[in-house]
Structure 1
Amino acid sequence: MDDETDGTDDPRREFAEECRSARELHNPAPLTQAHLARLVRTSKSTISRVETCQARIPPELPPLLDEVFATDGKFKRLYEAAVAASFPSVYRRRMAMERVAVAIREWSPTLVPGLFQTADYARYLFEGGYPRASAREVSTLVNDRMARKALFDGDMPPDVRVVLCESVLRRHFCPPETMRRQMKALLVAGSRPTVRVQILPLDAPAHLFIDGPVSLITSPKHNVSVCMENHRTAGILDDPDLVRAALRAYDELTGDALSTRESARLITEQMEKLT
């Protein structure tokens, strides 16, 4: 694994230790768990469980800790690393790459990519994909997915390009209102200065990525890796010839896709058809 994906051996434990240390060393006076709980609008038992690694970190807690302790995003970064550590190694590597990426190119023929999913949309996906999962397990999966969106809120968010097959807009596996909110979220994401969303029409020519989702992630050193996924598995390719072929194929996709303005218009039209 290269330097860009290195991290702590146990980011969850580091989060706990940093929380306890910041609380005990707080200036002008140490904070009790009960006092910290009041400041971050949670319970003393939650703080206790977080500091002893007996429960998952509530996703709303890290930014509040950063605010209380003026730690400039440290708890948020540790939380993202802890979430990534809960995934299999190939997904951990992919998520570590996302966090430091300068550019991300996404293609999906079937679903809205995870970085752009709403919580409700993701919940229906997980409930369908993991029918034996408990409500708590599904909720954990959803929270972990939502945590990935933190990369958009940093000081230097990556440039993100997304091409979706038109079928993504027409696939309604969730209630109409959930799909409406998901389409609205796509429009909002596409309005960011660092994000472009394009739709590939159903009658577009065949292409290299036609049978599955692909992400091309550019590192701070401008190295590009190709991440390919299928049923609960993933692979990361770094071979220069394969990367060049993937970049060419992605350029062809963006050329065949509707413009961002036309894409937004199509998303809006599909959204308005949902009742």
Structure 2
Amino acid sequence: MARSKNKETAGPAARMVAFVVRHMRLRMGLTQDQLGEIIGYTGAAVSAMETLAQPVSDEMLMQLGQALGDDVEFFEGMRLWVRLERLPEEFRDYLLIEQKALSMYLYAMNNIHGLFQTDGYARAQISGGYPPLSHERIEELVLARMARKTNFDRTPMCHIELVLDESALRRKFGSTEIMREQYLYLAECARYKNVTLQVLPLDIGLMGENAGARGELNLVETAEHTQVTYMEIQDESVLVTDPAKVSTYAQRYAKIRSQALSAHESLAFIERLAGEGT
């Protein structure tokens, strides 16, 4: 049933890959089993990709690019578009901006920000939502989320700041071990030269103000040196480009950051959570 649905919902990028692979495989005189052996997959997996019964994975695209040598650039280029097709439609425009961003200023209060999630945490969060998703859809979304980690190490380098509300750190997903791995990964990210990670304490409101009370936001400096704001709520999203509105969000983010623990205090706090066994 899932495979039948995949054939119906496959996007243009997946269809293009399937067409090109089949054309090149036949031109090279290879059966599906023979191509599968070359790239480390079964013939059934190649067949599923060519017939759109199973979405092509990022890893398979890399192997196909090497096996069908003279079109490596095609497969490299298609990786982005195939990834985009796995994501909710409302997120795609933002992802294109994120991948070329010069800087990102992020505030997350409900969950660990997607850019900083481990595989286990992302899978637990996505699979636990409602309405429930199929196993295939969960894997697609997890793979797409993990692919965003290229933002930590790319050229030009992206400067990334994240303020995590303490509530996001306290909210548990999956298991104790998954949370421990997530905390340790956050601590690792906090040590990257292009990353600043801070924690906004739960009791900040006792000081008389909490600039983060209105919810999460993502401020991005684009490759053209303009700023945009991206926000999500209940599977709906909005991309704000109006300079006056973006300026207000930028000021709000600056206030949130000023109310958070310092980077060193935040790292110590996260490491303490990892050591507590949650």
Fold conserved between structures, TM > 0.5 = yes
Q: 1:259 aligns with which of 245, 259, 262?
A: 262
The offset of 1:238, in angstroms, is 0.8
Q: Which amino acid aligns with 1:10?
A: P
The offset of 1:131, in angstroms, is 5.0
Instruction: Provide the rounded CA distance (Å) in 2 between the counterparts of 1:52 and 1:157.
Output: 39
* Greater per-residue helix proportion: 2
Instruction: Provide the rounded CA distance (Å) in 2 between the counterparts of 1:171 and 1:194.
Output: 26
Instruction: Provide the rounded CA distance (Å) in 1 between the counterparts of 2:116 and 2:159.
Output: 14
CA contact (8 A) 1:80 1:147 kept: no
CA contact (8 A) 1:110 1:168 kept: yes
| 1:127–1:49 CA distance, 2 compared to 1 (3 A) | closer
Q: Which amino acid aligns with 1:16?
A: A
Instruction: Provide the rounded CA distance (Å) in 1 between the counterparts of 2:238 and 2:272.
Output: 35
CA contact (8 A) 1:127 1:133 kept: yes
The offset of 1:70, in angstroms, is 7.8
Q: In the alignment, which residue of structure 2 is the partner of 1:15?
A: 17
How many residues of Structure 1 are paired with residues of Structure 2 in the alignment? 264
Q: Which amino acid aligns with 2:15?
A: R
Q: Which amino acid aligns with 1:181?
A: E
Instruction: Provide the rounded CA distance (Å) in 2 between the counterparts of 1:70 and 1:261.
Output: 49
The offset of 1:211, in angstroms, is 3.0
CA contact (8 A) 1:104 1:161 kept: yes
Instruction: Provide the rounded CA distance (Å) in 2 between the counterparts of 1:239 and 1:137.
Output: 34
CA contact (8 A) 1:201 1:257 kept: yes
Instruction: Provide the rounded CA distance (Å) in 1 between the counterparts of 2:191 and 2:218.
Output: 21
Aligned alpha-carbon RMSD (Å)? 2.6
Q: Which runs of 5+ in 2 are unaligned?
A: 1-10
SS for the counterpart of 1:162 is strand
Q: TM-score, normalised by structure 2?
A: 0.82
Q: In the alignment, which residue of structure 2 is the partner of 1:93?
A: 93
Q: In the alignment, which residue of structure 2 is the partner of 1:199?
A: 199
Deviations 1:27-52 (A, max 9, x none): xx775543432232111222233234
CA contact (8 A) 1:228 1:236 kept: yes
Q: TM-score, normalised by structure 1?
A: 0.83
CA contact (8 A) 1:109 1:211 kept: no
Q: In the alignment, which residue of structure 1 is the partner of 2:119?
A: 119
| 1:18–1:153 CA distance, 2 compared to 1 (3 A) | farther
Q: Which amino acid aligns with 1:136?
A: E
- 1:55 maps onto 2:54 in alignment: yes
CA contact (8 A) 2:87 2:141 kept: no
| 1:211–1:124 CA distance, 2 compared to 1 (3 A) | farther
Identity %: 28
Q: Which runs of 5+ in 1 are unaligned?
A: 1-8
